[in-house]
Amino acid sequence: MEVSFRYENSPTEAIMRAIDSVREVYGVRKVSLNEKERIARVEYDASRLKEPVVAHLLRKAGLAVGEKLFLA
């Protein structure tokens, strides 16, 4: 599964390090940030994680996650 969220703050070096640790969470396959459009995309194993948990992991890393996006 893949989920995308708009985020509000510019990621600092500390946030980027914390996001690297999110990549190590069992079930998270890939995390990518589009800083120009302020979109965070997370590919994850839906049998291990749910969308609210993914959003929580990003928030815990310091990213101000806002709305969920539905991208084509």
Instruction: Annotate 5-70 with DSSP letters as a single string.
Output: EEE-SPP-HHHHHHHHHHTTSTTEEEEEEETTTTEEEEEE-TTT--HHHHHHHHHHTT--EEEEE-
Domains recognised in the chain with CATH numbers: 2-69 (3.30.70.100)
Q: For the whole model, what pTM was predicted?
A: 0.92
Report the pLDDT value the prediction gives residue 62, as an integer from 0 to 100: 97
Quick one: pLDDT band at residue 72, thresholds 50, 70, 90? low
